[in-house]
Amino acid sequence: MRPLRASLAGLLALSLASLAALALDFPALTGRVVDQADILSPAVRTDVAAQSKELEEKSGIQLVVATVPSLQGSDIETFANQLFRAWELGQAQKNNGVLLLVAPNERKVRIEVGYGLEGTLTDALASTIISGAIVPHFKRGDFSGGVEGGVHGIVAVLRTDPSQWQAQALVAAPKPRWFGEYVIMFVVFSVFLGAFALFIKDLIGRFLHPAPHGHYVKRGERSIYISPRHASGGSSSWGGSDSHDSGSSSSSGDFSGGGGSSGGGGASGSW
């Protein structure tokens, strides 16, 4: 009888969770940035939407930022996962979507990752981005800076996936082994120069505009610099000092998910 009772209890819990998810009122997916909580500056909305569009055009990865005025009594993990599924972010066959969700009233933030990207944007990396590039800004009321820094960190990780470099090198390299090795060395050296240039840029930016320190994240034999980045549109406050239309987004009507799904990968944070 005990196994039967345990099974029934599990089914009941699952049913209640499903009913709670169905009761959630999600905003419409109107663009790459859905600022329902009205906490982002227009400049940051535009910048984040541009980064997201460029990422999708080059890799097929769909990145969306959403802010909500309330989690409606749900925890942020459930809300983010259900919102991700409702919007069907990412391509159907690749499940390569990413959702950055901010709930300012509950002081919660989450990076929800699609199935297909869990090996690249791991839970540990998502947690590092939240703690290093997002939360320090949020603690100072700078939502625009935190969101921009988080998106910058996410894009930096997704653009520097070692498996993609290896695949590109193997496709480009001719049969002679020595030439293939030179191609791989060239790719690695180019990536190192790019990372060094990004580090110098961020170092200069932090000198001119002091901000919370960024973080180096180890990925295999390389390190990725996750920068907090100051927002170009200034900071937001709990009182909503920015003057812009409430609930606006980066575009209207011509943006939709690609049929992707998420299994709950990612990380959450609070401040």
Tens-place pLDDT, residues 118-161: 989 999 999 999 999 999 999 999 999 999 999 999 999 998 75
How many C-beta neighbours within 10 Å does residue 67 have? 22
- Residue 73 lies inside a defined structural domain of this protein: yes
Q: What is the pLDDT of residue 225?
A: 47
- Residue 177 lies inside a defined structural domain of this protein: yes
- Residue 1 lies inside a defined structural domain of this protein: no
Q: Kindly state the tokens that stand for 210.
A: 């002091």
Tens-place pLDDT, residues 21-77: 457 889 999 999 999 999 999 999 999 999 999 999 999 999 999 999 999 999 999
| Residue 98: pLDDT over 90 | yes
Q: How many helices (H) and strands (E) does the chain have?
A: 8, 7
- The count of domains in the chain is 1
DSSP secondary structure code for residue 232 in this structure: T
Torsion of CA 154, 160, 166, 170, to 10 degrees: 110
Tens-place pLDDT, residues 193-234: 666 666 676 666 555 555 445 555 555 555 554 544 433 333
Name the strand (E) or helix (H) holding 3: helix 2-23
Single pTM value for the model: 0.62
Spatial separation of the C-alpha atoms in residues 188 and 35, rounded to whole Å: 38
Bridge-based pairing of strands 97-103 and 62-67 is: parallel
Q: What is the pLDDT of residue 104?
A: 96
- Residue 51 lies inside a defined structural domain of this protein: yes
Q: What does the DSSP assignment read for 152-203?
A: HHHHHHHHT-HHHHHHHHHHH--S-HHHHHHHHHHHHHHHHHHHHHHHHHHH
Q: Which domain holds residue 230?
A: 24-270
The domain that holds 154 is classified in CATH as 3.10.310.50
- Residue 4 lies inside a defined structural domain of this protein: no
- Residue 183 lies inside a defined structural domain of this protein: yes
- Residue 206 lies inside a defined structural domain of this protein: yes
Using CA of residue 70, residue 241, residue 38, residue 115, what is the dihedral sign?
Answer: negative
Spatial separation of the C-alpha atoms in residues 191 and 237, rounded to whole Å: 37
- Residue 172 lies inside a defined structural domain of this protein: yes
Which residues 6+ apart lie within 8 Å of 268 measured at CB? 76, 77, 80, 108, 109, 110, 111, 130
User: Which has the closest alpha carbon to 212: 149, 127, 147?
Assistant: 149
